[in-house]
């Protein structure tokens, strides 16, 4: 039951409107900038953003019945011959990735209306990035994957640099050098595969490889590992994550939300398309799954040691992507035609999706709080809740958002993080990954207890800090708070205007409320969503789930008791971490200086380990 070759206009055009609408929006933004002035230009830009970010929902709604009934829209772009042309594949997975991307991008854009950055360059680049996400989700051609990843990359380098902090230029530069170099390795891998198979489409490559004696032998293994390592660099898993903390911590908050929420996951799921069908794909996925488990635990320890609030969140992104990669790798290892593989992949996607929601919310709420308070130091900043109140937030939306998101990431019922972590650990029960991921969850709880201290009221100590640190713009008096909505130190430039901040509160509040509601709602509807995702993902493998499978039971005594133990252990870990010995140990972890070359050394090591692994199996 698949659409192949020629098909009617509607499915294909609606699928491509997911890519074309944001691009059209970008073109409109540029036209507005070139031809119009003042209010007209601003109005047109606003319309273009609406078209580009919310128009695709119509296409998603339209294509939903197709993917729901298990059909795949596939073919060759432009109806050219498949020998040279670009094949694409729009199935349940692509639908889900698009839904994820447009949810987070929409919320982040609404936030950026209030807190910046604004302007035509930001808007067009943001739209282009979203379009590239949609294109990445459905490509089934390896060179097209390269182009999509490059578009994603170049857009994110510019967006990271757009926060205008000097550190952000360095972060953007390091990110650019590492990811552009790894893309050259990707090309080298592509060279190897093309030389072996003479084909660029995934299906052509896998068929040709299977027909070769020894399935391509060493060259196939090495080429595949070059490609996988380059994509893994984008995903920021275990040895390759060095670029991420700076880039995500120094980007504007709205951009951080999209980078952590969507940008590091899309390449991973796009990669699963090719890994599923090439020989050695399962073996590579197995190793990546192990690396994912290691990522989850290592990154959470580093996160616990951080003092910059946003950098702490960035390390948590790495840790959470470790969960996703762990489940994803195990799923691909088992194969998507097995029941267990389907369940694991569902758990991986759900965690990616929920993580996008709560991490986006965390970046936005922490960004708002630290901007208003004028400091990002977790150890010294206190009383952020009262600062928020003084800055004119009558409903404590930001505080509530933070609480919801922090509970979600710590996997407290009934929020969404609980459901997806239960789903992942349920499927992995009995393996060593299960214990590693549980330990990582304890670390997550501890570090969010630590982060939440910035909201605790301690007025006496604050004054002390303010005098101790004259450089920090930090005086929680009503007068300063009112105009220091976005202090010059944090966001230099034109947005320190009082009126701008007052207007700013509305979109900032709306976007946070949207994401917070989404976190709660998806937590409550978790069993239903599980069945939904399971069925959509199944369209690729056709196991035939007809009724909605609610997944593992959530609120069993076992699970709740385990959560309770983990929270207690988290408290203990938190106390240890802030004790004298603990903080000295953690500062060793934090201050460990890895130079620029360290990024490449870890890439080289990761690449060669993957190569050896694939050559040995």
Partner 1 sequence: MSGRARRILFLAQIALCVLLVAAVLIPVFLSSMPWPLSARDYLQANGLAESGASNLVSAIYLGYRAFDTLGETIVLLVAISGTIAIIAHGGAVLAQGYGLPSGTASEPARHLPPKTRTELLEVVTGKLGPVVLVFGVYVMMYGHLSPGGGFQGGVVIASGIVFLALGSRVDASNSLTSPENLVRIESAAFALLLLAASSGIISGSGFFGNPLAGAGLTPVAFIITLNAIIGLKVGAGLGFMCIAMLGRGK
Partner 2 sequence: MLERILILLLFLIGFAGIVGMRNIIKKIFGLTIINSAVVLLFIVEGSRIGNSAPIIDAEIGLVVDPVPQALMLTAIVIGVCVTALALALAFRLYKAYGSFDIDEIHRQVHRES
* Interacting residue with partner 1 among 97, 142, 495, 501 (CB under 8 A): 495
> Which of 38, 246, 254, 44 has its CA nearest to residue 130?
254
Determine, following the binding rule CB under 8 A, whether residue 35 of this chain makes contact with partner 1: yes
* Euclidean distance between CA atoms 474 and 469, whole angstroms: 9
Determine, following the binding rule CB under 8 A, whether residue 167 of this chain makes contact with partner 2: yes
- Residue 330 interacts, among partner 1, partner 2, none and using kind-specific CB cut-offs from 5 to 8 Å, with none
Alpha carbon of residue 325 to chain centroid = 12
Determine, following the binding rule CB under 8 A, whether residue 62 of this chain makes contact with partner 2: no
Cβ proximity to partner 1, 227 vs 442, nearer residue: 227
DSSP string, 269-313: HHHHHHHHHSTTHHHHHHHHHHHHHHHHHHHHHHHHH--BHHHHH
Residue 445 is encoded by which pair of tokens?
């709880």
Cβ proximity to partner 2, 62 vs 169, nearer residue: 169
Q: How many CB atoms lie within 10 A of CB 199?
A: 20
Determine, following the binding rule CB under 8 A, whether residue 473 of this chain makes contact with partner 2: no
Q: How many CB atoms lie within 10 A of CB 271?
A: 25
Site for partner 1 in 225-244 (CB under 8 A): 225-226
Determine, following the binding rule CB under 8 A, whether residue 173 of this chain makes contact with partner 2: yes
Determine, following the binding rule CB under 8 A, whether residue 605 of this chain makes contact with partner 2: no
* Euclidean distance between CA atoms 497 and 244, whole angstroms: 32
Of the ranges 78-86, 94-102, 287-295, 584-592, which one interacts with partner 1 (CB under 8 A)? 78-86
Determine, following the binding rule CB under 8 A, whether residue 379 of this chain makes contact with partner 2: no
* Euclidean distance between CA atoms 320 and 360, whole angstroms: 13
Is residue 81 packed enough to be buried (19+ CB in 10 Å), middle (13-18) or exposed (0-12)? exposed
* Interacting residue with partner 1 among 50, 61, 83, 478 (CB under 8 A): 83
Coil/strand/helix, residue 253: helix
Cβ proximity to partner 1, 85 vs 414, nearer residue: 85
- Residue 501 interacts, among partner 1, partner 2, none and using kind-specific CB cut-offs from 5 to 8 Å, with none
Of the ranges 186-194, 229-237, 254-262, 606-614, which one interacts with partner 2 (CB under 8 A)? 186-194
Contact 134, 22 (CB under 8 A): yes
- Residue 166 interacts, among partner 1, partner 2, none and using kind-specific CB cut-offs from 5 to 8 Å, with partner 2
Cβ proximity to partner 1, 252 vs 329, nearer residue: 252
The dihedral sign for the CA sequence 186, 300, 529, 362: negative
Residue 139 has what DSSP assignment?
B
Determine, following the binding rule CB under 8 A, whether residue 588 of this chain makes contact with partner 2: no
- Residue 167 interacts, among partner 2, partner 1, none and using kind-specific CB cut-offs from 5 to 8 Å, with partner 2
Binding site for partner 2 (CB under 8 A): 84, 143, 146-147, 150, 153-154, 157-158, 161, 166-167, 169-170, 172-173, 176-177, 180-181, 184, 187-188, 191, 194-195, 200, 308, 593, 595-597, 600-601
């Amino acid at each position: 039951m698949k659409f192949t070759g020629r098909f009617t206009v509607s499915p294909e055009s609606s699928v491509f409107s997911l890519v074309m609408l944001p691009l059209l929006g970008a073109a409109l933004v540029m036209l507005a900038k070139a031809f119009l002035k003042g209010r007209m230009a601003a109005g047109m830009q606003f319309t273009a953003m609406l078209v580009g970010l919310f128009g695709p929902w119509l296409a998603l709604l339209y294509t939903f019945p197709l993917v729901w009934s298990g059909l795949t829209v596939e073919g060759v772009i432009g109806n050219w011959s498949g020998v040279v042309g670009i094949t694409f594949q729009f199935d349940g997975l692509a639908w889900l990735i698009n839904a994820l991307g447009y949810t987070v991008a929409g919320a982040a854009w609404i936030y950026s209306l209030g807190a910046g950055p604004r302007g035509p360059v930001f808007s067009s680049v943001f739209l282009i990035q979203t379009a590239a996400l949609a294109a990445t989700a459905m490509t089934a051609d390896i060179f097209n994957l390269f182009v999509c990843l490059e578009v994603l990359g170049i857009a994110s380098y510019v967006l990271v640099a757009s926060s205008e902090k000097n550190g952000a230029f360095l972060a953007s530069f390091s990110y650019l050098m590492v990811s552009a170099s790894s893309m050259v390795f990707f090309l080298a891998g592509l060279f190897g595969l093309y030389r072996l198979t003479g084909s660029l489409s995934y299906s052509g490559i896998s068929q040709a490889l299977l027909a070769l004696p020894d399935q391509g032998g060493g060259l196939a293994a090495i080429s595949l590992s070059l490609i996988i390592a380059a994509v893994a660099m984008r995903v920021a898993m275990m040895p390759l994550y060095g670029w991420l903390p700076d880039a995500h911590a120094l980007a504007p908050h709205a951009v951080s939300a999209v980078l952590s929420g969507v940008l590091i996951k899309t390449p991973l799921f796009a990669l699963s398309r090719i890994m599923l069908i090439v020989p050695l794909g399962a073996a590579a996925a197995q190793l990546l799954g192990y690396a994912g488990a290691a990522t989850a635990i290592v990154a959470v320890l580093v996160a616990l040691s951080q003092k910059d609030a946003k950098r702490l969140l960035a390390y948590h992104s790495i840790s959470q992507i470790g969960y996703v990669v762990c489940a994803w790798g195990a799923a691909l290892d088992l194969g998507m035609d097995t029941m267990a593989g389907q369940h694991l992949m569902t758990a991986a996607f759900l965690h990616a999706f929920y993580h996008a929601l709560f991490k986006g919310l965390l970046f936005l709420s922490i960004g708002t709080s630290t901007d208003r308070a004028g400091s990002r130091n977790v150890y010294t900043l206190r009383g952020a809740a009262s600062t928020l109140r003084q800055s004119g937030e009558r409903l404590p939306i930001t505080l509530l958002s933070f609480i919801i998101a922090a509970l979600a990431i710590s996997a407290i019922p009934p929020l969404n993080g609980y459901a997806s972590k239960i789903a992942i650990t349920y499927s992995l029960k009995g393996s060593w990954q299960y214990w590693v991921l549980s330990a990582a969850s304890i670390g997550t709880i501890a570090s969010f207890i630590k982060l939440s201290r910035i909201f605790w009221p301690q007025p006496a100590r604050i004054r002390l800090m303010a005098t101790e640190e004259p450089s920090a713009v930090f005086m929680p008096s009503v007068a300063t708070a009112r105009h220091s909505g976005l202090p010059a130190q944090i966001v230099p430039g034109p947005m320190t205007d009082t009126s701008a901040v007052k207007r700013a509160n509305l979109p900032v509040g709306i976007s946070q409320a949207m994401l917070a509601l989404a976190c709660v709602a998806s937590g409550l509807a978790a069993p239903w969503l599980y069945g939904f995702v399971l069925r959509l993902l199944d369209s690729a493998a056709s196991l035939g789930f007809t009724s909605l499978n609610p997944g593992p039971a959530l609120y069993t005594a076992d699970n709740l008791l385990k959560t309770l133990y983990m929270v207690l252990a988290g408290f203990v870990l938190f106390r240890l971490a802030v004790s004298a010995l603990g903080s000295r140990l953690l500062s060793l972890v934090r201050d460990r200086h890895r130079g620029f070359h360290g990024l490449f050394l870890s890439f080289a090591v990761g690449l060669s380990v993957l190569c050896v692994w694939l050559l040995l199996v």
